[in-house]
Structure 1
Amino acid sequence: MNATPRTPHLDALRKDGFVKIPSLLSTQQLRRLRESCEQTTKQVRQGKWPYVRTVPKQYPPWHEWRPGDNIWGVQHLLHPDMAQRNAFAELYFSDEVLSIVKELVGLKDDEHGDDQLVMELFNLLVSPAERQDFELCWHRDDVRPDVTPENEAQQLKEKSPEGKQLHAQYNIALFDDASLIVVPGSHQRIRTDEERNAAPFEPNLPGQLVVEMKPGDAVFYDSNILHRGVYKGVDTSTDLGRMTLHGSIGLAGHGSERARQVLQHAVGQWIGRAQFDLEGSKGERAEAMRQRLVEMGSGEGLGYSLVG
C-alpha cells in the first residue's frame, strides 16, 4: 500500500499562512540571477524598460516609466522583449520552484501535475533610490479592506478551499531581505476589531512577524494573509539594496476568479508572443503553461482587486 505523501510545506502554509524555504537557490543560480537583476534594474532606472512599479503607488494599474520616477518594482520579467528573460524563465519553470508549487496547490509532483499549472506573474522587487523609504499598507491581495466581516469570511473561504489556494505565490531573495511583514494565521479568519480599525501603516500590529530571508531563501505565502511591505530606500550609486523575485503560478480551471488577479497586471497584452527558448521537458512545460495563460484572455473588463 502506498503511503500518504508528506506535505510539510502545505501543512505550514495552512497553519501559518506562509512557509519559508531556506537555500532554495544554489550558489550558481544565485550568482546568475544577481547579475541578471542588476543589469535589469540599471536599465530600468535609465528609462530603458517601461514596465515598472513606482513610488508611492501600491497596486495596479501601473503607468509606464517616466523621467523622475522612483521605482520599487520591475514588471514582466518573462516579457519577450526583456533582455534577461532566459535567466528568469530558467528559474520560473524550474523543478525547484514547481515541485513546491504543486504541493501547495494539491498536485502530484510529476509530469501529470504539470498539466494543470498556469503561467502567471514574475516580477522583481527592488529598493527605492535616493534613500526614499516606501511602505505598503496592511492588506490582503484580493479582499478589499472595506468589506463587511461576513463578506470577508465568505471570500476567504472561497479563495482557499480546504486550506489550499488556487495559486502559489512567492518571494525569492537574492540579498538579505526583511521587507515582508505578516500576521501568522490571519489567512484563516476575519480581521479582529483592532486589525480592522488599525491605521493603514500601523507599525506594530499584534502578532505581526517580519519574514527574514538570507540570499537564496524563498517564502511562499497565502496571498490573503494580512501582510504589508516595508522597503528601505538606498543610495543606488553605492548600494544595490534588496532584489527579490516575486512570482505566482496558478492552477488551471478557475475562470474569471483567478483571471482578474493575474490579468490586472497587463500580462495578457504580450503573452501571445512570449515563446521561451528552453530545452527539453522544461521547454514543453513552459509552452503548455504559457498557452493556459493565453486561454485566460486579455483581462479587459475584469477590473482590479485593490485600489491605491
Structure 2
Amino acid sequence: MPAAISQKYHDEIERDGFTIIRNFLSPQEIETYTKASEALVQYARDGKWAHCRTTNKQFPPWPKNTNPDIWGISGLLHPDLGDMSTPFHTLYADEKMLAIVCDILQVDKSQLSMELLNMLINPLTDFELDWHRDTIKPEVSPEEEAEDLLKFPYAGAQFNLALTEDSCLIAVPGSHKRVRTEEEREKTVDPSRRKEFISGQVVVDLHPGDLIFYNNNILHRAAYSSKNKRLTLHGSYGNVEQGKSRAKGILQHGVAEWLPRLNTDGNENLTMLKEKLMGLVKEFEGVDLGYALDG
C-alpha cells in the first residue's frame, strides 16, 4: 500500500487561504540561496537580464528591462542564465519542497508539474500592488466570482520563500473561498481605492528561511519598501490533472518559449516536472490565452 499523504498544510490553506512553514531552510541553505540571489539581482539591475518586473507595471506583460528600478526578476530556471540558475534548479526540485506541495494538492509527486520560479526584490523607489486575486478579474459579478472560486482550488500551489526579513505581503484570511464583501468589492474595483486598508487584513511577517504557500485567489496585495532589502523566491507548482485551468496564468509569463531548452542535468525531479509542463505547452501550442489580469 502506498504511504498516505499528510494533509496538515492542505487543511491550513483550506481554512485560512495560506500556511506558513517557519525555518524551512537551514542557515547553510539560506546562505547558499542568498548568495545566488544577490548575484542575479546585480545582473538584472545592470541591465543584463531582460525578464524583470518594472515599478511602472503590476502585471504581465512587462517591458524589456532597461531600468535598475525593478521589483521582481522572472525566469530563475531559464537556460539563458547558465550557471546562475543552477542553485534554483536544486531548490525547485528539492524533495522537502515537493513533499509540502503533495500535501497541499493531495497528490503523489508523479502528478506534479513545473510552473514558475521568480524572485521578488526591493525596488529603488517605493512601490505597491493593488488588491487582487491572481486569476479572477475584479470586475466579475458576484455570481461569476463564486463560480470561479469553486473551480479547481487545488490545481496548483503558490509560494513565497523569504531569504531576508519580509513583511510585504498583505492578505485577507479566508477570502479565498467566498465572494467579496461590499467593502472588498469597492476597494478592488475602484482604481483610486485599490491600496486602501481592508477589514480583517493581515501583514504576513516572514523571517529568513520561512516559507508561505497560499491560494492565489486569496485577496492580497503587496507593499515594497525601497529601504528594506528583499530577496524572496516566488513560484508555483501545478497539479497535472487540472493543468488546463492553470494554463493562462502560467503561460502568460513566456515559459513556453524557453522550456524545451531547459537542461535539467540529470535532476530526476526537475526532469519529471519539466516533462509535465511540456505536455501543457504542447496542448496550448498556437493558442493565444491572453493575460489573467490588467495593470
- Range class of TM-score, shorter chain: over 0.9
> How many residues are treated as equivalent by the alignment?
286
Pairwise CA distance, 1:78? 0.2
1:96, CA displacement in angstroms?
A: 1.7
Per the TM alignment, residue 6 of structure 1 is displaced from its structure 2 partner at its CA by 4.2
Q: Determine the C-alpha separation between the residues in 2 that align with 1:295 and 1:232.
A: 39
* Residue of structure 1 equivalent to 2:190: none
Q: Does 1:128 align with 2:123?
A: yes
Most deviating of 165-174 and 56-65: 56-65
Verify the 8 A CA contact 1:19 1:219 in the aligned structure 2. yes
Q: How has the CA–CA distance of structure 1 residues 195 and 92 changed in structure 2, closer, same or farther, with 3 Å as cutoff? A: same
Report what 2:257 is aligned to: 269
> What secondary structure does 1:184 align onto?
coil
2:32 counterpart residue number: 32
Query: How many Å separate the matches in 2 of 1:263 and 1:37?
Result: 24
1:30-109 to structure 2, matched below 5 A, reads: 30-66=30-66, 68-82=67-81, 83-107=83-107
* Higher mean C-alpha displacement, 254-263 vs 96-105: 254-263
1:295 aligned to 2:294? no
Q: CA deviation at 1:3?
A: 9.8
- Comparing 137-146 with 296-305, greater Cα deviation is found at 296-305
Q: Does 1:259 align with 2:247?
A: yes
**Equivalent position of 1:180 in the other structure:** 169
- In structure 1, distance between residues paired with 2:10 and 2:241: 21
**How far 1:105 moved relative to its partner?**
0.5
Q: 1:299 to 1:94 in 2, by over 3 A?
A: farther
DSSP-derived class of the 1:230 partner: strand
Amino acid in structure 2 at the alignment position of 1:285:
N
- Structure 1 gaps of 5+ residues are 108-112
| Alpha-carbon separation, structure 1, partners of 2:91 and 2:110 | 18
Whether the 8 Å contact between 1:266 and 1:299 is mirrored in structure 2 is no
Which structure 2 residues correspond to residues 129-168 of structure 1 after superposition, within 5 A? Answer: 129=124, 132-160=125-153, 165-168=154-157
Q: Deviations over 1:45-66 (max 9, x none)?
A: 0011111000021111122112
The structural deviation recorded for 1:255 is 4.5
Pair 1:170 & 2:159 matched? yes
Structure 2 residue 211 is matched with structure 1 residue 212: no
Query: Would the aligned equivalents of 1:127 and 1:233 in 2 still touch at CA under 8 Å?
Result: yes
- RMSD, aligned α-carbons: 1.7
User: Which piece of structure 1 moves more, 205-214 or 80-89?
Assistant: 80-89
The equivalent position to 1:247 in structure 2, one of 235, 244, 253, is: 235
The match for 1:231 is 224
- The CA distance in 1 between the partners of 2:245 and 2:76, in whole Å, is 24
Instruction: State the one-letter code of the partner of 2:93.
Output: F
How far apart, in 1, do the equivalents of 2:105 and 2:136 lie? 20
Measured at CA, do residues 36 and 196 of structure 1 come closer, stay the same or move farther in structure 2, by a change above 3 Å? same
Alpha-carbon distance between aligned partners in 2 of 1:105 and 1:76, rounded to the nearest angstrom: 23
Q: Specify every segment of 5 or more residues in structure 2 that has no aligned partner in the other structure, as ranges.
A: 188-192
Shift of 1:186: 0.2
Measure, in 2, the Cα distance between the counterparts of 1:146 and 1:139. Answer: 11
Separation (CA, whole Å) in 2 of partners of 1:273 and 1:27: 32
Could you tell me whether the CA contact under 8 Å between 2:155 and 2:245 is conserved in 1?
no
| SS of residue paired to 1:81 | helix
Aligned position for 1:110: none
Q: Relative to structure 1, is the Cα distance of residues 14 and 51 closer, same or farther in structure 2, using a 3 angstrom cutoff?
A: same
Query: Normalising to structure 2: TM-score of the pair?
Result: 0.93
| C-alpha deviation, 1:292, in angstroms | 1.3
Amino acid of the structure 2 residue aligned with 1:274: L
List structure 1 segments (4+ residues) > 3 angstroms apart after TM superposition. Answer: 1-6
Name which of 254, 268, 292 aligns with 1:305.
292
